Amino acid sequence: MSKKRYKAIDKRLITEGSEINFNLFLPNEAKSAMSLFLQSDTAVDGNAKVKLREIETLYVSEEDEERYNEYVAQHLQSIAKNSDIPTEEKARLVYAKASEAVDAMFKDPESLENVKNAQPIVNNLIDIILQDNSAVESLMKITAHDYYTHTHSINVSIYTLSLGSYLGIAGKDLEVLGMAAILHDLGKSKIDYEIINKNGKLSDEEFTQMKLHPALGHEIALKLGISDERILSGIRHHHEKIVGGGYPDNLTGDQISQFARIIGTCDVFDALSTKRSYKDPMSSFDSLRLMKQQMVGHLDMNMVDAFIRMLHKQGKS
């Protein structure tokens, strides 16, 4: 018997019409060895898909694992659209890919390519959210519960897209909203690492530094050639307050764009409901109660109410 090691894979992730660049195996009848099911560099045609239906589990050899992971990443768009794959499985794959892409973006925020790579991620999230009424719940289960800037950006994107869609924002507008959300904290890439990752509350001086991130993010976005006002305002104005006193521009009420108000609400929700080194995470219920009771004048309460209704509806579906 061969010493090769194999890894079981989810056969639903093998997309019809694609070409695989790794071998697919299945156990022989006696389950004593693996036999080749589909050879590397072959197209997955209708025939192969029919045969796949009768198979329980497929395997890739350990040496092909990386090629298989790349294949999944490349076909994420069709995977995200495939209603046969459970939402949680899709959410896990898209979240992992999004983490990678957003991590790269924060490491080199001036790279237009890195920022462009965020768009397919946003589109994948939209596909998942629009397909399944309870997608946010599945996504919430897999969102990182520890706070990191890059996972925070993805969590905020997930909440923002769900809330935006609930509010009737659709099509290209929803894509733009998702981009604004995923980029909203881009300016944090320019803030001292020690301040961003401080194990405790910030001093006044550190907070002054931290407060520069919306304007810095706006500057980076302009340099990258982003011209959509909704994205720019989402980045620059997500820390403005409805009654004024927010930063950087001390705007009030409607001066704060709708996109910035949506993102601002989802930003606070994620900050409260994830764990920081100096605080425990709050439950969704407690986070929303605190927002509702203690953030009047700071957040747009219409957005907070819509967020509550949206999560409530999800819980029922």
Q: Using CB under 5 A, list all residues that contact Fe ion.
A: 185
Whole-number minimum distance, CB 185 to Fe ion, in Å?
A: 5
Q: What is the DSSP letter of 276?
A: B
Q: What are phi and psi of 146, to 5 degrees?
A: -95, 150
Query: Under DSSP, is residue 123 helix (H, G, I), strand (E, B) or coil?
Result: helix
Minimum CB distance to Fe ion, residue 200 (Å): 19
Q: Are 216 and 253 in contact (CB under 8 A)?
A: no
Q: Which tokens belong to 239?
A: 């820390």
Whichever of 137 and 185 has its CB closer to Fe ion, that residue is 185
How far is the C-alpha of 83 from the C-alpha of 101, rounded, in Å? Answer: 24
Peptide bond into 109 cis (omega under 30): no
The CB-of-150 to Fe ion minimum distance in angstroms stands at 13
Closest contact distance (angstroms) between CB of 196 and Fe ion is: 11
C-beta separation of 246 from 230 below 8 A? no
Torsion of CA 71, 74, 76, 82, to 10 degrees: -70
Shortest separation between residue 84's beta carbon and Fe ion, angstroms: 38
C-beta closer to Fe ion: residue 137 or 267: 267
Closest CA to 185 of 151, 228, 142: 151
Q: Kind of pairing, strands 58-61 and 19-20?
A: unpaired
Indicate the residue among 132 and 185 with the shorter CB distance to Fe ion.
Answer: 185
With CB atoms as reference, the residue minimizing the distance to Fe ion is: 185
Choice between 137 and 240, CB closer to Fe ion: 240
The strand pairing partners of 36, in sequence order, are 25
Between 64 and 185, CB nearer to Fe ion:
185
Tokens of 307: 């967020």
Nearest residue (CB) to Fe ion, 127 versus 185: 185
From the list 167, 154, 182, 145, the residue with the least C-alpha distance to 304 is 167
C-beta of 238: minimal distance to Fe ion in Å? Answer: 6
Q: In angstroms, what is the minimal distance from the CB of 100 to Fe ion?
A: 21
- 97 vs 239, which CB is nearer to Fe ion? 239
Q: Which of 67, 148, 48, 64 is nearest to 100 (CA)?
A: 148
